[in-house]
Amino acid sequence: MPMIAVVPGWLVRRSGEKRAAETLNRLGKSQHVADLRLITWATVYVSGLGSLLAIIFSYWHTISDNWKVVAGAKNLWPWIRLFGDSLFAVSSLIGPVIALACGVTAWAYQSGSARIGIVDLFACEIGTICRVFAITDVARRYVEAFNVDLHGPPDPQMVERIRHAFSHFDATEDYTPVFDHNAADLRVLEVRVVTNVTAFYTYFKAMRDTLRIMTRIDAPLTGGSPDDPWHEALKSVVYMMFLTLESARKAIRDLIEFDPNQVESIINVLINELTAYHFLMIQFGLQSEAADQDFRYARLRLRLQSYREIVGDVYWRAMDGKQYFYERSKSRNGSLQLLSDNPERSYGPGDFDLDMARQWAKAAETAHELEKRYQLVFPRESIQRPTDLPAPGKEAARGSLIL
């Protein structure tokens, strides 16, 4: 049962827009606490229905016992007095029922708040790691390191400079403090969320382990081969990174419910994911021409069509969201006001739309780089808008409800 069924409209609008990040609003809408909402509303309705039936039965029983009093009554006072007597008679039953409903509601609020906190922690850590990947352009640098001595006469100084970064790995660094200290809290989330989050951290650890192993392999002093131990190790690193990013994208999709942040984070992931995917398709595709088809190449090919849909979805959501709220902000900009009896700024619809437009603009700006990476996988092909994508207004406005 949605929260809007029992909460006044002005409160829903206030909490749904200006105060979208508050816990109470998120408890009423987040998919991560849907089971707690069901328990709460079931308890409230059963308690309310039970109390109502108890009052009706008690009132009927009281009237039956005092029918001679009310039968000849010339006004409503005897009926009212008997109703009060019936309420008093069932108060010992209704009181504990109401207390039970309040207790369940308080428990659900505390459990839901803790669960949303866990979701936010993991979303922040995974999103931050992927943002670092995007800022440093890890996938592109690894691909350059792989190809630096394979095409044309190698430049010894450039080869040495690039490979020096792979000669040492500090295994003492702690990159995942949230997972290391809160992994047990994942059990309260849905199985799909747990699967994708756990897969991300497992592949991330495997990627770091592969990098550690790679530091023990001597790189070729002159021109190398794609099949030498050093290049094979780097290929494995890129594969582990690809699986890490793929799991991160799925985890972010499940964890983050505020559309602008979700879309921006997924775009940050796809920038490196597509680069790694393109590299792996080339490497394993070349091997498949000379030998039996590599099962890894077959698995990679299965993902090809899905990237058209995934990239098209986030790209057009970013563009539509920015345009939709930008136009709304322009049309409503005259609604700003400052209340004299409130020291805080009172935001009108124009302020909210402008803030949402800025949120979507960050995703839209990052989407331009995604366009370039998309061309690696699908040369001379533009990003198509999915046919099942909602209209700009409906899709973009959904981002204002959950943060």
pLDDT in tens, 367-402: 999 999 999 999 989 999 888 877 665 554 554 444
Mean pLDDT over residues 137-165, rounded? 75
pLDDT of 343 reads 41
User: What phi, psi does 344 have (nearest 5°)?
Assistant: -80, 155
pLDDT category at 7 given cuts 50, 70, 90 is very low
pLDDT at position 354 over 70: yes
pTM score of the predicted model: 0.81
Residue 252 near residue 264, CB atoms below 8 Å: no
pLDDT at position 14 over 60: no
Q: In the predicted model, what is the mean pLDDT of the chain?
A: 81
The pair of structure tokens assigned to 332 is 């409503």
pLDDT at position 264 over 90: yes
pLDDT category at 238 given cuts 50, 70, 90 is very high
pLDDT of 304 reads 92
Locate all alpha helices (DSSP H) within 175-258, ordered by sequence.
Answer: 177-182, 191-214, 229-255
Cα separation, 223 vs 216, in Å, equals: 19
- The string of DSSP letters for 261-305 reads HHHHHHHHHHHHHHHHHHHHHHHHHHHHHHSSPPHHHHHHHHTHH
* Residue that the structure tokens 């409800």 belong to: 401
The pair of structure tokens assigned to 120 is 């936010």
pLDDT of 400 reads 44
Residue 213 near residue 232, CB atoms below 8 Å: no
Residue 171 near residue 212, CB atoms below 8 Å: yes
Residue 283 near residue 232, CB atoms below 8 Å: no
pLDDT category at 171 given cuts 50, 70, 90 is low
